[in-house]
Every structure is written in structure tokens, then in C-alpha cells.
């Protein structure tokens, strides 16, 4: 199985299955001296873990993280940081539930494609490596990335803007988002609308079904200059990161698909010099990136999260061993909606991308010379204002 490492300079490698003994994470490229504790990592893991509310899976995983390498006396040493999260709620009863349906393809899951790729050797317990359980690794690694970004004045915040077709109001302020997102189980900063989202989700769950939604992420304080103009656009890296999350089905930046319905004169973000001689933009329809490179404005994007695939309604499917059509009656645990739990995962993947690009840009700038050979590289936070 390939593709279990993400990043180029700041690299995260993850391993582990839904019902295996543990999840394991190696974070390589972490500079020395970053203060980090298990308690800090635990806070974001607690936001992602199941069993938090009536609209999430009842699985009772505590997601207790242990730092096993690369940290001494509360600071990173410069060596790879090793993390481990043991799976605890993997009772034989639950494994037997999956064993009953192991030959059948669960609609919406990766059962069929994993069967084609790995055959009888695939781990069918709780969807194995294709389970959303693996996202705990991303969140744990993302906390380290957030610490590095915070030192550079960069903040990443994700929140729910839609569940079950119920959408938050569009004029939410940054202060409202920061203050209110974690006050309700929907993780929606529009508190009144969040209650409608929760009630609709519960009503659908009582019918045995599930709902999806939309998560928005804002990265504030990102300096101009991150990203490469062709294959490694910052937007392309973020799209790769978001689309690697199992439940995510689409992404749009800034005004997104609405840009396709506008005139160029309506859509362009007009630049100007502010009182400090710094280039700003009157609007941010591009979502903080032009030509795949950050502009210095907020990075803004939205991801579409599909309904949880496991439902309590009988569905037609196929038995890949007996090679016949059958009916599937789901018995296993599931989230009525996965949307609130995707929020910390999206934040983590955003942070991983930004740190990786920040390191690449700082390295590039440090080796930049003019034609006379004078070194003109400088820290990214000391960007020239004359296009040098």
C-alpha cells in the first residue's frame, strides 16, 4: 500500500487500521525547540473523537495520545516526532458484526475497491485502513504544525456552515467564528442555526438515515508568496490535502463556482496600497491565492462532506465471494453526520500544507541572490514591498 506519507519537507507518515492495536504517526522535519505536550495534542483529538454527542458515532474511543520519540522535556529535539494512539473500543462483539457482512459490499464504502486491490488479505474490520479512524493521525500531527504556524502569527480555523441543507448565515464575523464554533456539537458559529442543524440530523437518524454538509476553513495571517505557480500551487496542495479525507467530495476556493457565473469586471480583486505602503485587495473573491501563490489575504475554502455511508436501511448489494446479489442490513456503528468531526481534520491538513510550503519558501528565499552575487534572502515575514 502506497501513499501513507504526506508533505515534502514537513512530512507525516501514518499507519494503523480501525480495529488494529493502534494508530502510529511519524512527523519528520520538525525543527528543534517547538514546545509540545500530550495535553495540547489531546485537545484537538478530543474534538475529532467519536462518542461525543447524539449526532456522532457511539464508538467510545478515548484517543489517548502518547509521544514516544522526538520530544524531551517538553520540546522537540529535531528528531522525528513519534506518536501512538491505542484503539480500545474494539470488542469481539463489534468484530463479529463486521464478520457477518465481510463478503458483501457496503454501498458508499471502499469495500469493493479494496477487494479488487487487496483481495482476501484486506482488513475488513471496521473498514480497516479506509476507515475515518485514520484521521486521528492527521489531527495529532496537525497540532505540531499549528504550533509552528502560531509562532509565525498564522491561525487556522474550521467550522460548519451547512448540515442537511441548513446553512449558516453568510455574514459571520471572525470574532463570532472563533468564539462560537466550539459552543455546540454541530461546530457551527451561527448558534441559532446550529440548533436547527442538530434537530434535522437527529430526525433523519431516527429514520435510519444520515446527512452531509459543508465545512469552511479560514487561514489568517498567511504571508504572501507561499506556493509554486505550476504543479505545486498552494491551492493544488490544499485540494490534495482535503480530497485525501475520505468523506470529502469537493472543494472550492474563495467564491468558488460562483466565479463561473460572473463577469471579469465583477470577479477581479482590485489591489491598492494601504497607508503603510503595503499592497492589499478591496475584496477576496480568489480566496487568498492568485496564480497558486498566497496573496497575504485570508486563505478561504469550503469542502463538501458526504453523508455517512453506513445507514440503518436495507440496501441491495453484491456478495463478492459467492458472486451473487444480496440484501445488506447494517448493524455496525455509524455517525448520523460526520461533518462536525471533519472540522478538526480539515484544520490539521490545512496546517500541514501551510507549514510545508512555509518551509520551502523560507529555504528558497534564504538562497536567493541578485546578479551581483549579494544575498538578498530574508525571513518570509520581512517581505520586500518593492517586488525585489
Contacts of 364 (CB under 8 A, 6+ apart): none
259 is a domain residue: yes
Q: How far is CA 26 from CA 4, 40, 194, 360, in A?
A: 11, 17, 36, 20
pLDDT at 376 over 50: yes
How do 213-220 and 155-163 pair as beta strands?
antiparallel
Give the total number of structural domains in the chain: 1
Which pLDDT does position 128 carry in this prediction?
80
As a whole number of angstroms, the distance between CA 294 and CA 226 comes to: 5
- pLDDT at residue 178, rounded to an integer: 97
pLDDT band at 121 (very low <50, low <70, confident <90, very high): confident
CATH code assigned at 153:
3.60.150.10
Q: Is residue 70 part of a domain?
A: yes
Domain span holding position 344:
5-382
* DSSP secondary structure string for all residues of 148-192: HHHHTT-EEEEEEEEETTEE--TT--HHHHHHHGGGSTT--SSHH
- pLDDT band for 380, please (50, 70, 90 cuts): very low
User: Please, how many CA atoms are within 13 Å of residue 217, restricted to the half-sphere of its CB?
Assistant: 29
Tell which wins on pLDDT, 366 or 299: 299
pLDDT for the residue numbered 296: 96
Residue 239 lies in a domain: yes
**Rounded Cα gap, residues 188 and 190, in angstroms:** 5
* Confidence check: pLDDT of 388 > 50: no
Say if residues 28 and 80 touch (Cβ distance below 8 Å). Answer: yes
CA distance 354 to 145: 8
Looking at the predicted structure, is the pLDDT value of residue 124 above 90?
no
Residue 372 banded pLDDT, cuts 50, 70, 90: low
Tens digit of each residue's pLDDT (9 = 90 or more) over 37-56: 999 999 999 999 877 778 88
- On the CB side of 341, CA atoms within 13 Å amount to 30
Does the pLDDT of residue 370 top 70, yes or no? no
- Stronger pLDDT, 227 or 382, i.e. the higher one: 227
Give SS3 for 36: coil
- Which segment of 120-134, 229-243, 294-308 scores lowest on mean pLDDT? 120-134
**Mean pLDDT, all residues of the chain:** 91
126 φ, ψ to 5°?
60, 30
Residues 282 and 220 sit within 8 Å (Cβ to Cβ): no
Output DSSP code: residue 127.
G
Question: Is 387 within a domain?
Answer: no
pLDDT digits (tens, 9 = 90+) for 92-109: 777 777 777 888 888 998
Least confident of 229-233, 292-296, 317-321, 363-367: 363-367
At residue 330, the pLDDT reads 72
Angle, vertex CA 293, rays to CA 291 and CA 296, nearest 5? 125
Condensed to tens digits (0 to 9), the pLDDT of residues 307-334 reads 999 898 999 999 998 999 999 887 766 7
With 80 as the cut, is the pLDDT of residue 374 above it? no
The answer to whether position 20 is within a domain reads: yes
Residue 37 lies in a domain: yes
Cell of 374: 549579494
Cα–Cα distance for residue pair 287/214, rounded to 1 Å: 16
In a domain, 388, yes or no: no
Lowest pLDDT segment from 14-28, 30-44, 52-66? 52-66
Structural domain contains residue 348 = yes
Is pLDDT above 90 for 76?
A: yes
- Give tens-digit pLDDT for 80-89: 999 999 988 7
- What's the number of CA atoms in the CB half-sphere (13 Å) around residue 5? 10
**What distance in Å separates the CA atoms of residue 23 and residue 243, rounded to the nearest whole number?**
21
- DSSP letters along 298-359, please? PEEEEEEEPPPS--SS-EEEEETTTTEEEEE---S---SB-HHHHHHHHHHHHHHHHHHHHH
Task: Show the cell assigned to 113.
Answer: 475497491
Confidence of residue 369 (pLDDT cuts 50, 70, 90): low
- Cα 149 to chain center, whole Å? 16
Amino acid at each position: 500500500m502506497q501513499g501513507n506519507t504526506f508533505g515534502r519537507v514537513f512530512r507525516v507518515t501514518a499507519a494503523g487500521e480501525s480495529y488494529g492495536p493502534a494508530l502510529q504517526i511519524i512527523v519528520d522535519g520538525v525543527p528543534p525547540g517547538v514546545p509540545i505536550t500530550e495535553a495540547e495534542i489531546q485537545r484537538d483529538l478530543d474534538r475529532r473523537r467519536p462518542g461525543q454527542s447524539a449526532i456522532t458515532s457511539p464508538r467510545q474511543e478515548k484517543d489517548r495520545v502518547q509521544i514516544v520519540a522526538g520530544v524531551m522535556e517538553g520540546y522537540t529535539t529535531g528528531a522525528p516526532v513519534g506518536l501512538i494512539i491505542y484503539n480500545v473500543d474494539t470488542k469481539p462483539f463489534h468484530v463479529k458484526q463486521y464478520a457477518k457482512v465481510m463478503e458483501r459490499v457496503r454501498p458508499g464504502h471502499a469495500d469493493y475497491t479494496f477487494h479488487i486491490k487487496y483481495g482476501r488479505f484486506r482488513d475488513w474490520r471496521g473498514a480497516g485502513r479506509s476507515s475515518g479512524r485514520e484521521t486521528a493521525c492527521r489531527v495529532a500531527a496537525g497540532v505540531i504544525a499549528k504550533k509552528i504556524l502560531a509562532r509565525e502569527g498564522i491561525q487556522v480555523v474550521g467550522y460548519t456552515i451547512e448540515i442537511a441543507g441548513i446553512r449558516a448565515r453568510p455574514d459571520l464575523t471572525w470574532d463570532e467564528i472563533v468564539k462560537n464554533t466550539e459552543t455546540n456539537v454541530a461546530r457551527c458559529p451561527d448558534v441559532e442555526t446550529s440548533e436547527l442543524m442538530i434537530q434535522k440530523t437527529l430526525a433523519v437518524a431516527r429514520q435510519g438515515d444520515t446527512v452531509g454538509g459543508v465545512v469552511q476553513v479560514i487561514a489568517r495571517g498567511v504571508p504572501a508568496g507561499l506556493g509554486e505557480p505550476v504543479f505545486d500551487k498552494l491551492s493544488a496542495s490544499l485540494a490534495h490535502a482535503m480530497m485525501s479525507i475520505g468523506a470529502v467530495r469537493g472543494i472550492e476556493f474563495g467564491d468558488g463556482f460562483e466565479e463561473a457565473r460572473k463577469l471579469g469586471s465583477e470577479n477581479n480583486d482590485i489591489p491598492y496600497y494601504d497607508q503603510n505602503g503595503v499592497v492589499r485587495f478591496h475584496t477576496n473573491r480568489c480566496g487568498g491565492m492568485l496564480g497558486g501563490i498566497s496573496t497575504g489575504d485570508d486563505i478561504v475554502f469550503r469542502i463538501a462532506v458526504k453523508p455517512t455511508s453506513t445507514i440503518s436501511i436495507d440496501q441491495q448489494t453484491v456478495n463478492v465471494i459467492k458472486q451473487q446479489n444480496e440484501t445488506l442490513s447494517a448493524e455496525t456503528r455509524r455517525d448520523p453526520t460526520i461533518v462536525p468531526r471533519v472540522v478538526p481534520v480539515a484544520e490539521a491538513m490545512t496546517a500541514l500544507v501551510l507549514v510545508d510550503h512555509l518551509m520551502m519558501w523560507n529555504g528558497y528565499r534564504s538562497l536567493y541572490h541578485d546578479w551581483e552575487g549579494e544575498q538578498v534572502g530574508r525571513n518570509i515575514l520581512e517581505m520586500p514591498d518593492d517586488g525585489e
